[in-house]
Amino acid sequence: MAGGAVGRPSPVPGIPDVAAVFYEHTDPGAGRESGLSQRAISDSRSDSVPWSLGAWEDSWTPAEHAAAVRAVHAAIARGDVYQVNVVGHASAPYTGDPGPSLQRVTELPGARYGGLLAGAGWAIATASPETLVEVRAGRVVTRPIKGTRPATAQGRRELLGSAKERAEHIMIVDLERNDLSRLPGVGPVRVDELFAVRRWSGLWQAESEVSAPIEGGLGLAELLRAVCPGGSVTGAPKLAALDLIAGIEPVGRGAGMGALGWVGTDHVDLGLTIRTVAATDGRVHLWAGGGITWDSDPDAEVAEAAAKAAPIRRALAAG
């Protein structure tokens, strides 16, 4: 985001900041693809080596993660921020072809943006449930997700009844309303759905829908400048949250917390790259975290991040 602090270096510097696959439609039944090749990142040597995933190495300890939560508490007490999304990173070595394991990640239940993007020596697999931005039928839409509980009957009741989760969620909805209102050529912003509980893998998550009609000219660059990075993975106010994130997170977010999706001549549909894994140079990388407010418990936040990462770790570990 323009004006935001620059975070720590990415743990996956070999993955480009922007990658695209271009499709040109010509005659019916014929087409030509150019640009980035969506091929497996394995080579002839790895094809004959069985898939094996090594031990995970976290970029911070649970105690360091909890200390970051307390640092956000201190910033809230000073009046610097209202909420900050704190994200941790972990990586593990692998041998063999990562393709089948990455594909399993994309097939996790609730993955609205399940997909795989690969280039020369790298790949990104996502099971994201969250819409960063969609443009279709004359409206621009974002669907922030904030609030998590285990996918049980009790977990659903707890999420619906949690004043802390609802307050945190509404802060992000207000932030997204502000982001859309700054777009040129859009009309009044409205909240179409608030705090709807939906399931992703083994978790309940709260989602809202915020939209505005497109009434004038709106370019892709203007759209991305307004919504990136997503409010649900930064905080409020967004610039102040980015300043704090740059100082307390152990490594950069790399391919995590960005966007992956489709841009067409008449629509845009980009998912936020949460629940996402990157593979390059013989290691897989993932990111997980959560939004921190004044009422957040440090130990509970550490546990929530682990719960979000667990389905991806299991998918990657399967033989």
Q: Give domain status of residue 200, yes or no.
A: yes
Has residue 201 been placed in a domain? yes
* Preceding peptide of 237 cis, ω within 30°: yes
Q: Which of these is catalytic: 64, 107, 130, 209? A: 130
CATH code of residue 263: 3.60.120.10
Which domain, by its residues, includes 304? Answer: 52-317
Identify which of 245, 246, 269, 273 has the alpha carbon closest to the alpha carbon of residue 257: 273
Q: Tell which residue, 248, 309, 257, has the closest CA to residue 284.
A: 309
Domain assignment present for residue 14? The answer is no
Angstrom distance (rounded) from CA 118 to CA 51? 18
Examine residue 43 and state whether it is found in any structural domain, yes or no. Answer: no
Q: Give a yes or no: residue 247 inside a domain.
A: yes
CA-CA distance, 115 to 262, in Å (whole number)?
11
The residue from 57, 107, 146, 304 that is catalytic is 146
Say how many domains are in the chain.
1
In a domain, 312, yes or no: yes
Q: What is the residue whose two structure tokens read 């509970």?
A: 300
Question: pLDDT (tens digit, 0 to 9) for every residue of the chain, 319 residues total?
Answer: 556 777 889 999 999 888 888 877 666 554 444 333 344 455 444 567 999 999 999 999 999 999 999 999 999 999 999 999 999 999 999 999 999 999 999 999 999 999 999 999 999 999 999 999 999 999 999 999 999 999 999 999 999 999 999 999 999 999 999 999 999 999 999 999 999 999 999 999 999 999 999 999 999 999 999 999 999 999 999 999 999 999 999 999 999 999 999 999 889 999 999 999 999 999 999 999 999 999 999 999 999 999 999 999 999 998 6
Residue 145 included in any domain? yes
146 in active site: yes
pTM value surpassing 0.85? yes
Does the annotation count 130 as an active-site position? yes
Q: Is residue 163 part of a domain?
A: yes
